[in-house]
Structure formats: C-alpha cells, structure tokens
A and B are shown apart, each in its own frame.
Chain A
Amino acid sequence: MGKLLEVKDLKTYFFLDEGVAKAVDGVSFHVDKGETLGLVGESGCGKSVSALSIMRLIPDPPGKIVGGQIILGGKNVLELEDKQVRDIRGNEVSMIFQEPMTSLNPVFTCGSQIEEAVILHQKVSKKEARQKAIEMLGLVGIPAPEQRVREYPHQLSGGMRQRVMIAMALSCNPSLLLADEPTTALDVTIQAQILELLERLQRELHMAVIMITHDLGVIAEVASRVAVMYAGKIVEYAGVQEVFNTPRHPYTQGLLISIPKLTESKDRLAVIPGMVPNPLAFPQGCKFHPRCSRAIAECRKAEPDLRELVPDHWVRCFRA
C-alpha cells in the first residue's frame, strides 16, 4: 500500500512570554492509504498540535512550525502558498474536533455550513450544493435529512452535531480525515454509534483516518497502527497488536496497566507516579525519566532515539 501522508521530523513550537513550549519536537510517522493510525497520549503531549500542523492551522503567532516536512500526495504542505493550502484543506485532508457544540457556527443552519464547503471546493451551484448537503446528512445517518438541513446546531443533540461535523468534513471526499477526540464529549452509547459510522464511511469512501485520542479503548477498536506520544515526541510506534500485547516503552506499559478494565477485577490499580510534564519545562534527557521506575543515570543525561527494536516496532527507550 502506498504512503498517503508522511510526516518527517516535525517541530512545532509556541513562543510565549514564559518561554518556548516545544509542543511537537521531532515527530515522524506515516499513514497508508485507507488505514487508521491511532495517535494516543495525555493532555499536552502534542497530539492535537501535530494534527493542526498537518492542516497548517497553527495560530501564528505564537505558534510556528520550525522544522520538518509534511508530505501529502507528493507535495510538502509546509512549502505551499496559503491559497494552495486552502485547496488541500477540506478537499484532501479534513478534520473533525472534540467539541461538536463549539465547532459549528450557531447562527447558520447545518445545511448552509456544509454547502459553504462544497461550493468553495467543487464549484457547483447553490442548488446542487443543497442536494449534496442532504445526501451527506443522509450518509452519516441523520434521520429526515431534508428537514435537518434547515435546522440550527442548537436544535440537535451532541451525537447529531458530531454527525453534522462528519458530514461537513467528508463532503468533498478527502483522502485523509484527522479525527481529534471525536467521541470524547459523547456518551458511550453515542460514542459507539459514531465509531461505527466512521468505520463504515472509511470503508465506503476508501479514506485514511488519524484517530487522536487519550482513550486506549477507542484506539484498540479502530486503529491498525499506533503512535504513543509523550511530551512532544513519539515514544512507541507499532502495529496495534504489538502495542497492546507487547508494549516495550515503560510509559505505554504504565498506561495500559493503570486503566481499570471491565473484563478483570483488581484490588488496586498500578500507578504511574508524578504528573504530566509542563511543555514549558520538559525534563532533561528522556522526558519520561522522572516518572519511570526503570530509569538509570544515562536516562537523565541523554535523550534516547526512536529505535526499531523488532521490525515495525519503534521504541524511544534505553532500557527497552
């Protein structure tokens, strides 16, 4: 399978009054056509900033992509003019966000927000755009789309709003969808509906997805490969089976044993001590060493490289 997207050594920094936050600091990964890559990590690890960098949506100032390449369909997105980037956004890459309440415009109907994207990218008439909007709403499983197309976001439930977001994102048939915590704000039964919907649409539209989430359960269900991020860097990068069955980085191992599971009972949860580091003051050496039970002197001094320990299983750890 061909590579659809390749991110090489991406560095996105935020220049703040308090200092430089290296939100994404040398991240490399790729996405094949039609596959789902899971990007998992805790708040502040740089997973959302990575996605926003691909879309070139980093607010500048204070943010800046200071290095690296983002190759999408043979072109380096970082070298394109603003107008060319606008052509890519929505057309080739689309993004859906966590908050379906705040990422829709409250003063426009759902239909007109979808039509706007269609008219902009596909040069069709208003009437055709309306037809397309109705078709998309039907595709994402919204009942009575002819009616809903005239309704405002506040008239819809959270799950329905996320469906509208998905309809909007997919209206121009992108080859890559960036889904940034798309189900975090939703209830579990609605989350199940949305995950099922994404899976179906991905199959039908032959689309690749980057699923960004902190929920390891969601990753296990949808992703084929996983990149685990910590403090602006990928610490483990492998197929989903390897990451969950034979995790090799102490952080991944810690995460997996610290979550309570429905299928087993334990008296006490294992814990990763300490807290998620502040991006303004990442520790020296390996960023995880202050919380790592296996840290040695070397970990405090130097940052380990991401090494391929077994074929297609990359780990950033001296001790793995």
Chain B
Amino acid sequence: MTDMLLEVKNLKKHFPIRKGLFSRIVGHVKAVDGLDLFIKRGETLGLVGESGCGKTTAGRLILRLLDVTEGSVTFDGRDVLAMGRKELRALRREMQIIFQDPYGSLNPRMTVGGMLSEAIRIHKLASGDAVKKRVAELLEIVGLSPHHSRRYPHEFSGGQRQRIGVARALAVNPKFIIADEPVSALDVSIQAQIINLLQDLQKQFQLTYLFIAHDLSVVKHISDRVAVMYLGRIVELAESSRLYESPKHPYTRALMSAVPIADPGAKGKRIILLGDVPSPANPPSGCPFHPRCRERLPRCDKVVPQLRDQGDGHYVSCLLYTPEFQSSSGRLGKSVIIDSDDQKKG
C-alpha cells in the first residue's frame, strides 16, 4: 500500500457549445483544462479558485459524476476511468461527496432515516435491525440524535442539514470524501461547527479530503496542502502555511490580498485585479492569467507555463519562476510591469 490515494493527470473536461437548428458544435467550454494533482492518504487537499475556474467540475470528474474528455484518474492504485458499472458502484463506496447546498441536495420526500438506510442497503453493508442501529449511530456521530431519523429535511436548520449531508457521505464507510463548498451556504457561527466536525471525523475514521471552496481563510484552516485554480488549471500548489506565507504566482498574491481581514488595524495593501475572469469558452492564449497580470512578460501571451516544482513541493505555473527567466533577470521580481490599455477595455 502506497501513501498515495488519488492521482490525477492532465485531466480535461470540455463541454460542447451547441447552436442552431442541428445543434452543431460551435466551440467548447474548457471547464477543466489539464489538471494535475495528487492526494496522500489521510491528508486534506484544498482546492480554491473563483467561480467558473472549474473546481466543482474537477471534483465531479474525479468521482466520475461527469465523463472525462481526456486524462487519467487513479484511486488507490486503480484506474477510475477504465472501470465498468459494477466496479464503479464498488468505488462509490470508497469515494463520497458532500454538496454545498444543504437545501437542494437532500430529497424533500424522504425521511433522514430513509436516506441513510438507502445507502446502507444498496451497498449491502447491513440488513434488518442492524440498519436501524447503524442509522442511529451515524446521526450521533455527526452530532444529531437518533430520534431525528423520522424527520424530513425541511424540519432542520441549514447547519443540521449539512450534518445530514455529512452523515449520508459517511454511511458507506468511505476512505475519501470530496467536500464541495460544504460551509459557504451557512451562517458564520455555524460554519465553525461544521468545520470542526469534518476535522474530528477525519481523525476518527482516517479520512482523506478534497476540500473545494472559494473562501481562502476556511481552506487555509482545514487543509494540509492547497491548490489554487484559475481557468481550468492549477496555477500554484503548496503546503498550506507555505502558500499563505509566501505566495508566488501573481494571481495567488492578488487573491490573498483581496481577502478582507477582520482586523481594522491591519489595512494591508490590496492588489486590485483589473477586469473579470475570462470566459472558459474563449480562454486567452498562452498563460490564461496574462490579460489581468501586472507582472507579465512580453512572451506570456504565447507560452503556456507548466506547473513546476520550486523545491519542497511548492509548485507554480508562471514564467517568472522558470530557470530561464530567473537566470536572465538575475533575481526575482525584476519583471516588466506592463500597464497597457487593453487591460482596461476588458
């Protein structure tokens, strides 16, 4: 058994754009466009990025809830993309997902007990009275009580519903859970409760998490390593504390500086990015971030940078951090700042 649980290589998902009477394919939305990452057993990898960067699609591709256009996904030494239906069902016992919306992701016509026992029965994990016992146990694990099993989702608050979502994922004893924005729909005082619950469960059941979120503070808190996505690719990946102490990619730096800090004394310098995130249907040439980048080089619109290890597992995909650039400019940060008008035209 290796300590590698999940390995994703060059993962791509292109959604076709159809138009006209015969639904001709006129282009593709490149939601995920060459994603590389690995997750070790027992760790939490955070995946952050702004809306439309492909983080949710990436999660669904790994679970095979969506068909992959290209690339490979290896889970526990097995090729996920080559699996047939039977194997896939067995795999889903090991990999589960928790969704963002605790309102929309629970069936309103099913009791909580019904939902949880369905998963247990489908995977033949228990039968008869043992199912009931297991449901009660699950509810207690997530901080609810066994009598809640007869209630319907609408009878619960947002935080409690998210606990039910967690219980449902745990019902099949998974090894790996993808948590897709699990706290962003919750109130501030409830968020901390769910984050602590997820961390406790990780210790108790040796879980591995892929934690997808847009809130950088939450991701930093819960993750061992963090990957930053922009337009379908990872632009930077490093150990959590290292990434937050010394972000390298210009996008990561701007993203961090944009987070409002709950301390009126600490008014840091905000880097304001110009323009919006470009459409993934028509991504910029070269580095996808170059039209908004304040430190871009003349060749950034031509060369696609590769994700490169800067030492100690700190990966960056930016021409500023290639050996060629560093030797030519002598030191880092001496980049040409281009303040061109086409940025403003957006």
Inter-subunit contact B276/A42 (CB<8 Å): no
Tell me if B345 counts as interface (CB < 8 A to partner A).
yes
Give the total number of A-B pairs whose CB atoms are below 8 A apart: 132
Cα A215 to Cα B191 in complex, Å, equals 12
Inter-subunit contact A189/B51 (CB<8 Å): no
Inter-subunit contact A244/B263 (CB<8 Å): yes
Inter-subunit contact B258/A270 (CB<8 Å): no
Inter-subunit contact B241/A265 (CB<8 Å): yes
Inter-subunit contact A42/B262 (CB<8 Å): no
CB closest residue in chain A, given B267: A221
CB closest residue in chain A, given B262: A216
Cα A272 to Cα B266 in complex, Å, equals 25
Inter-subunit contact B157/A275 (CB<8 Å): yes
Tell me if B159 counts as interface (CB < 8 A to partner A).
yes
By a CB distance below 8 angstroms, the chain A residues around B244 are 262
Mask: chain A, 190-218; 1 = CB below 8 Å from B; 0 = not: 11110110000000000000000011111
By a CB distance below 8 angstroms, the chain B residues around A189 are 50, 254-255, 258, 272-273
Tell me if A67 counts as interface (CB < 8 A to partner B).
no
Given A262-B216, A266-B221, A217 contacting B190 (CB threshold 8 A): no
Q: Among the listed A196, A261, A273, A291, which residue makes an inter-chain contact with B262, where contact means beta carbons less than 8 Å apart?
A: A261
Cα A1 to Cα B119 in complex, Å, equals 64
Closest Cβ of chain B to A182, distance in Å, is 13
Closest Cβ of chain A to B195, distance in Å, is 6
CB closest residue in chain B, given A278: B157
Stretch at the interface among A68-76, A109-117, A252-260: A252-260
Closest Cβ of chain B to A24, distance in Å, is 18
By a CB distance below 8 angstroms, the chain B residues around A159 are 276
Q: Among the listed A187, A241, A245, A265, which residue makes an inter-chain contact with B50, where contact means beta carbons less than 8 Å apart?
A: A187
Report the interface size class on chain A: 35 or more
Tell me if A268 counts as interface (CB < 8 A to partner B).
yes
CB closest residue in chain B, given A215: B260
Cα A196 to Cα B51 in complex, Å, equals 20
CB closest residue in chain B, given A272: B189
By a CB distance below 8 angstroms, the chain A residues around B196 are 268-269, 271
CB closest residue in chain A, given B343: A143
Mask: chain B, 217-237; 1 = CB below 8 Å from A; 0 = not: 110111000000000000000
Tell me if A43 counts as interface (CB < 8 A to partner B).
yes
Tell me if A55 counts as interface (CB < 8 A to partner B).
no
Closest Cβ of chain B to A251, distance in Å, is 8
Given A143-B346, A262-B261, A193 contacting B188 (CB threshold 8 A): no
Q: Among the listed B159, B264, B345, which residue makes an inter-chain contact with A220, where contact means beta carbons less than 8 Å apart?
A: B264
Report the interface size class on chain B: 35 or more
Mask: chain A, 258-289; 1 = CB below 8 Å from B; 0 = not: 11111101101111110110000000000000
By a CB distance below 8 angstroms, the chain B residues around A157 are 276
Inter-subunit contact A192/B187 (CB<8 Å): no
Cα A258 to Cα B195 in complex, Å, equals 10
Inter-subunit contact B262/A260 (CB<8 Å): no
Cα A87 to Cα B222 in complex, Å, equals 51
Given A263-B261, A265-B241, A42 contacting B344 (CB threshold 8 A): no
CB closest residue in chain A, given B271: A192
List which B6-46 residues lie within 8 A (CB) of chain A. Answer: none
By a CB distance below 8 angstroms, the chain A residues around B128 are none
Tell me if A297 counts as interface (CB < 8 A to partner B).
no
Cα A276 to Cα B266 in complex, Å, equals 29
By a CB distance below 8 angstroms, the chain A residues around B4 are none
Given A188-B259, A221-B267, A265-B241, A260 contacting B195 (CB threshold 8 A): yes
A residues lining the B interface (CB < 8 Å): 42-43, 143-144, 157-160, 187-193, 195-196, 214-221, 240-241, 244-245, 254-256, 258-263, 265-266, 268-273, 275-276, 291
Across the A-B interface, give the 9 residue pairs with the lowest CB-CB distance, nearest first.
A217-B260, A260-B221, A187-B50, A192-B258, A258-B192, A42-B187, A269-B192, A216-B262, A272-B189
A-B contact list, 20 entries, CB within 8 Å: A42-B188, A158-B51, A187-B214, A188-B216, A189-B255, A191-B258, A192-B257, A192-B270, A192-B272, A192-B273, A196-B270, A214-B188, A221-B261, A221-B267, A240-B264, A244-B265, A258-B189, A259-B192, A262-B220, A276-B189
